[in-house]
Every structure is written in structure tokens, then in C-alpha cells.
Structure 1
Amino acid sequence: MPQLNPLKWFNMFTYSWLIFGSIIPMKIKQITWPSLPESKKTQKPKATPWSWPWA
């Protein structure tokens, strides 16, 4: 019975993880984003003091 032969399944497991660990990360690194995110402004807007009518 082929289910009892662990060598065949271990080889398949090893080869599949070699593919996942070597080829797929290289393909993911090649993806280019259409636009880079812009940096946020470092200056905060000045707030004007609120004039309370009862103060």
C-alpha cells in the first residue's frame, strides 16, 4: 500500500516547502506598487483660542 511508504510523502513534503521557501518569496518581492505613500507633514496646524461668550 502506498500510504505506508513514508519516504515518498516525505519527499513530496520537502520539495513543496523548498518551492514555498525559495521561489514564492522572490515573486512577491518583484511586485511593484503603483504609488508610494506620501510622508505626513511634521508640523501641526496652529489652533486658535476659543473665545467663550460667558468668560
Structure 2
Amino acid sequence: MPQLNPAPWFAILFFAWMIFLIILPPKILAHKCPNDPGLRNLVVTETKFWNWPWQ
């Protein structure tokens, strides 16, 4: 039964994980976030409470 031979499947698994762990993270981390939360002006808005009779 040739499907029980782990040699080719282990190599495919190994190279796939090497792509995921070595090649892809720098490419993904190179992208910049267009909505940088640090550049936003922090304006505190004053909220008003509702005085509704609930009873």
C-alpha cells in the first residue's frame, strides 16, 4: 500500500509549515494599518443621562 509511506507526505507537510512560519509573516507584517488608532484626536464627549420614569 503506497499511501502508508510517510516520506513524501512528511516533506510536503514540512515545506508547507516552513512557508507559513518563515516566508509569510514578514510579508503580512509589512502591511500598514490604514486606521492607526494612535493618530486619532482624543476628544471626550459629555453624555447626558435620560431622566425617564421607568416605574
Q: Report the TM-score when normalising by structure 2.
A: 0.60
Q: Distance in 2 between matches of 1:38 and 1:32?
A: 13
- Structure 1: 5+ residue stretches without partners: 45-55
AA aligned to 1:4 is: L
Percent identity for Structure 1 against Structure 2: 40
- Structure 2: 5+ residue stretches without partners: 45-55
Q: What RMSD over aligned residues (CA atoms) do the two structures have, in Å?
A: 2.3
Q: Which residue of 1 aligns with 2:25?
A: 25
AA aligned to 1:29 is: L
Q: Distance in 1 between matches of 2:14 and 2:21?
A: 10
Q: Distance in 1 between matches of 2:2 and 2:19?
A: 24
Q: Deviations over 1:11-54 (max 9, x none)?
A: 0000000000011101111111113213775xx8xxxxxxxxxx
Listed as ranges, the matches of 1:1-55 within 5 Å are 1-38=1-38
AA aligned to 1:24 is: L
Larger Rg: 1
The answer to which of 21-30 and 32-41 deviates more is 32-41
